[in-house]
Amino acid sequence: MGIKSLVEKGVIELWEDVYDSRLDDKAAPDLSDILRGEEEPVYSDPEEFFKRTYMTRSLEELLEETAETLKSGKGGTIFLLTSLFGGGKTHTQICLYHAFTNPGKLRIINEKLSSRIAEIGKPLIVVMDGSRASSVPHPSEPYRAGGFTVKTIWGMLAYRLGAYAKVKHLDDEKAPVPDVDLLKTILVETKEPKLILMDEIVHYVFNMHKSLREYGEKVLLFLDYLARAVEGTPNTVLVASVQAEYRIVEGAKTLLEEEVFKGYAGKVLSVLSRESTRTVIPVTPDDVVKVLQKRIFKKIPEKEASTARDRLHSAYRENPELFGVEADWQFSSGETGRILTAKDTYPFHPKYIEVLQEFVTRNKDLQKTRDAVRITRKVVRRFLRERGDAEFIMPWHIDLR
């Protein structure tokens, strides 16, 4: 029985939002919009968000280590989310936000972690989205609220921590950056466990360097001082997204940066790197299959996956002159060498995953996981509309028009 028939019978279920084409371009939500409650429910509602979130190993470890730091009273920790082109950085930040504001909802995907995070109580979460002046202001576009006018990134951090008075005299592009001791004092005097989420900080540094160069240099110095202060402050975690990642190129470990931010991402990565810093790759190539399955489908019965795989492999064995050997139709990311069979990738054929990965990785205008989800939403809708009822979603179902 084909996928379309299984969907019509309710054997395979899609998430309702997949049918809404408006949400295709919302495959990458904004952290600031989540905070303001202005995002779509699939992202802003923690229960709906976790239902569609695949718990990668790196995400699970990040949540565990963050919880441990916030609870244990040990020195602070810095996590750098590194990936190119939409590799799950913002999604991970949103996951952290929801997990530590609504730990009970995390039970949907990880009951043990949910209970562990709930023991911490309510940490103070500071969200700093560098793409929004309302979240991270600058001298040309200050933040005004409650009689305050905040002009700098360090002023905003202090304001969010309830300690603006301590840096008010330094909240100006011409003033020196608050030193490590002052930043540490502000962090220490805030008694609650602290989770600082910095998203799009490379965008902010790039923007300031291009328009307010002197202030832009000070932003890098501030990040350096902040990293030092966090490292020495108990119950404090800083998580920052950086548009760069390390890859092996010609046998050497090489830092690759998004072209538009070349040089800037590397600088941010450098100043935030301390002894306690951990580098996290949110989504690896091996995770993409599970991410797609989780984001698109509400239910995929294992029995149907096994049946479809067996029929497919039977066809391969019976027609070797057409299909070659079965191994030719499996998928390996090339990073871990793990082989994924048609059962692992169902209802996607392994070759669909391979072609999609190749397409979004090689095309500089596309963003890895983000566009893989966006493209697949469109592919699945078109697949269900068209005539025919294939047992797998194949590479040729990708319409690039």
- Series of mean pLDDT values for 10-residue runs along the chain (401 residues): 94 95 78 87 94 94 96 88 79 96 96 95 94 95 92 98 96 97 96 95 94 96 98 95 79 78 91 91 87 96 94 83 63 59 92 88 71 92 92 89 64
User: How far is Cα 313 from Cα 185, in angstroms, rounded to an integer?
Assistant: 64
User: How far is Cα 347 from Cα 396, in angstroms, rounded to an integer?
Assistant: 14
User: How far is Cα 335 from Cα 29, in angstroms, rounded to an integer?
Assistant: 28
This prediction has a pTM of: 0.91
Residues 272 and 294 in one domain: no
Residues 277 and 180 in one domain: yes
Residues 341 and 381 in one domain: yes
Residues 274 and 315 in one domain: no
Is residue 360 within 8 Å of 375, Cβ to Cβ? yes
Say if 113 falls within a structural domain: yes
- pLDDT value for 304: 95
Non-local CB neighbours of 10 within 8 Å, separated by 6+ positions: none
Give the CA distances from residue 385 to residues 5, 52, 233, in Å, rounded to whole numbers and listed in that order: 12, 23, 56
- pLDDT value for 86: 59
Say if 46 falls within a structural domain: no
Say if 155 falls within a structural domain: yes
User: How far is Cα 165 from Cα 21, in angstroms, rounded to an integer?
Assistant: 47
Residues 125 and 273 in one domain: yes
Q: Which of 282, 306, 341 is the last residue of a domain?
A: 282
Structure tokens at 112: 């043990």
H-helix segments, 102-255? 111-118, 153-160, 180-189, 201-211, 213-231
Residues 126 and 212 in one domain: yes
Residues 87 and 230 in one domain: yes
Is residue 219 within 8 Å of 52, Cβ to Cβ? no
Say if 134 falls within a structural domain: yes
Residues 204 and 136 in one domain: yes
Q: Which of 227, 262, 282 is the last residue of a domain?
A: 282
Q: How many folded domains does the chain comprise?
A: 2
- pLDDT value for 221: 98
CATH of the domain at 184: 3.40.50.300
Could you please report the per-residue DSSP string of 68-86? HHHHH-PPPEEEEEE-SSS
- Coil vs helix vs strand at 177: coil
- pLDDT value for 27: 60
- pLDDT value for 364: 64
Say if 32 falls within a structural domain: no
Say if 49 falls within a structural domain: no
Crossing angle of helices 213-231 and 180-189, in 10° steps, is 50
Domain that holds residue 305: 3-24+287-397
Residues 212 and 93 in one domain: yes
Non-local CB neighbours of 327 within 8 Å, separated by 6+ positions: none
- pLDDT value for 328: 55
Q: Which of 282, 311, 340 is the last residue of a domain?
A: 282
Total number of residues shown for the chain: 401
Gyration radius of the chain's alpha carbons: 23
Say if 349 falls within a structural domain: yes
User: How far is Cα 55 from Cα 295, in angstroms, rounded to an integer?
Assistant: 12
CA-based nearest residue to 163, from 136, 127, 133, 190: 190
Residues 341 and 214 in one domain: no
- pLDDT value for 183: 98
User: How far is Cα 306 from Cα 301, in angstroms, rounded to an integer?
Assistant: 9
Please count the helices (runs of H) and the strands (runs of E) in the chain.
Answer: 18, 13
- pLDDT value for 284: 83
Residues 175 and 237 in one domain: yes
Say if 51 falls within a structural domain: no
Non-local CB neighbours of 288 within 8 Å, separated by 6+ positions: 333, 353, 357, 369, 372
Residues 197 and 152 in one domain: yes
